[in-house]
C-alpha cells in the first residue's frame, strides 16, 4: 500500500482506514486482561491511569485492587488524610501522585458533587491531570473520541507514519496524528489497542517487525535493532527506566 498524505497533512483515507482496521483486529485477538478494562467508572479509570504513570503493569494490578477496596469512591478518598493515602500507595513510589489524586478527589466532591467532568478540557483544569490522562479518562470512562499520546503511542505513530527525526521533538505533530486517526465509533478499543500494540509488538528495544500486522503500512519497516534502540545518550542521576516512563507503565 502506498503511503500518502492528504493536502491537509493527515494520512490519506485509505491508509487511515487500513491502520484502524488492522489495529482493532489485532487488539481484539491479543488484548491484555486488565482489571480497569472491566469498568467504566471514572474514578476507577482515573486511579488506574495515575498508578500506571512510571510504574509497571504487574506492580499496579495488586495495588489497584487494594487501593479501591480501601477508597472505593471519590468521597471515600477525599475523606481520608493525605498521609493515610500516601501510606496506602506504598510501595509504588513517586508519592506526588497520591497527593495529587487526593486533591483531585477533594475538588471533584466539592465542585462537581463527586462526579468527574466528561470533557478533556475540563479534566485538564485539575492539577495532576495532563492531556494524556484527560484523554484516557474521557475515552475509557465516558466513551469520548479523545486522542491519547503516551510513550508507547508516540513510538507507534512515529515509526509507522513519520519515521524521520526524534519523536520526542514532534509531540505536537503526533498529538495531531493521534486525533486524526481515532475512529469516532471505536475510540475505546482503538486507544487501548494503541497502548497494547506499543507494549507488546512495537516495543522500544526489540520490536516484532517480522510478524507485525502493520509492516505493509509502516514507513520504518524493517526496523533495525540500532534504529529501534535509538541514539545512545549519557544520563546522570536517573532512576531505572524513568526515561521510558509511560512505556514501562503500560
Can you read off the three cell numbers belonging to residue 155? 513510538
Q: Which CATH number fits domain 41-142: 1.50.10.20, 1.20.1630.10, 1.10.340.30, 3.40.50.1260?
A: 1.10.340.30
pLDDT at 98 over 80: yes
Catalytic residue among 49, 75, 118, 119, which? 49
pLDDT tier at 236, thresholds 50, 70, 90:
very low
Mean pLDDT of the chain: 89
Is 49 a catalytic site residue? yes
pLDDT digit string (tens) for 100-155? 999 999 999 999 999 999 999 999 999 999 999 999 999 999 999 999 999 999 99
**148-169 mean pLDDT:** 95
Q: Can you tell me the distance from the alpha carbon of 78 to that of 24, in angstroms, rounded to the nearest whole number?
A: 37
Question: What is the pLDDT at residue 228?
Answer: 57
pLDDT, residue 242, reads 30
pLDDT on residue 8:
52
What residue spans define the domains of the chain?
A: 13-31+147-228+242-249, 41-142
> How much is the pLDDT for 224?
62
Q: What residues contact 161, with CB distance under 8 A and at least 6 apart?
A: 3, 11, 177, 219
Say which CATH topology domain 13-31+147-228+242-249 has: Endonuclease Iii, domain 2 (1.10.1670)
Confidence of residue 10 (pLDDT cuts 50, 70, 90): confident
Q: Residue 18 above 70 pLDDT? A: yes
The whole-number average pLDDT for the span 162-179 is 95
pLDDT at 79: 98
Mean pLDDT of 154-171: 95
Per-residue pLDDT at 244 exceeds 50: no
Task: Output the pLDDT for position 226.
Answer: 47
Give me the mean pLDDT over the 87-95 stretch: 95
Of 52-56, 122-126, 205-209, 230-234, least confident by mean pLDDT is 230-234
pLDDT number for residue 222? 86
Q: What is the pLDDT of residue 230?
A: 52
Mean pLDDT for the stretch of residues 214-219 = 96
225 pLDDT more than 70 = no
Residue 3: cis peptide before it, omega within 30 degrees of 0: no
Amino acid at each position: 500500500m502506498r503511503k500518502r498524505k492528504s493536502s491537509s497533512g493527515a494520512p490519506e483515507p485509505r491508509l487511515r482506514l487500513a491502520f484502524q482496521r488492522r489495529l482493532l483486529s489485532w487488539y481484539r485477538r491479543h488484548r491484555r486482561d486488565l482489571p480497569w478494562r472491566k469498568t467504566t467508572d471514572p474514578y476507577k479509570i482515573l486511579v488506574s491511569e495515575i498508578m500506571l504513570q512510571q510504574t509497571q503493569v504487574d506492580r499496579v494490578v495488586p495495588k489497584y485492587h487494594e487501593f479501591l477496596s480501601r477508597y472505593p469512591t471519590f468521597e471515600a478518598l477525599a475523606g481520608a488524610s493525605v498521609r493515610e493515602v500516601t501510606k496506602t500507595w506504598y510501595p509504588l513510589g513517586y508519592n506526588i501522585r497520591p497527593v495529587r489524586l487526593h486533591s483531585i478527589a477533594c475538588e471533584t466532591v466539592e465542585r462537581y458533587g463527586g462526579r468527574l467532568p466528561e470533557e478533556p478540557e475540563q479534566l485538564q483544569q485539575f492539577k495532576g491531570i495532563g492531556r494524556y490522562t484527560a484523554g484516557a479518562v474521557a475515552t475509557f470512562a465516558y466513551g469520548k473520541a479523545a486522542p491519547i499520546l503516551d510513550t508507547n503511542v508516540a513510538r507507534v505513530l512515529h515509526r509507522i507514519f513519520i519515521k524521520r527525526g526524534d519523536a520526542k521533538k514532534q509531540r505536537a505533530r503526533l498529538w495531531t496524528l493521534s486525533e486524526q486517526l481515532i475512529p469516532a465509533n471505536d475510540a475505546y478499543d482503538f486507544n487501548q489497542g494503541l497502548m497494547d500494540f506499543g507494549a507488546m509488538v512495537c516495543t522500544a528495544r526489540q520490536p516484532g517487525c517480522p510478524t507485525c500486522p502493520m509492516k505493509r503500512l509502516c514507513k520504518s519497516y524493517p526496523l533495525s535493532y540500532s534504529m529501534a534502540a535509538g541514539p545512545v545518550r549519557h544520563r546522570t542521576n536517573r532512576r531505572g527506566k524513568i526515561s521510558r516512563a509511560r512505556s514501562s507503565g503500560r
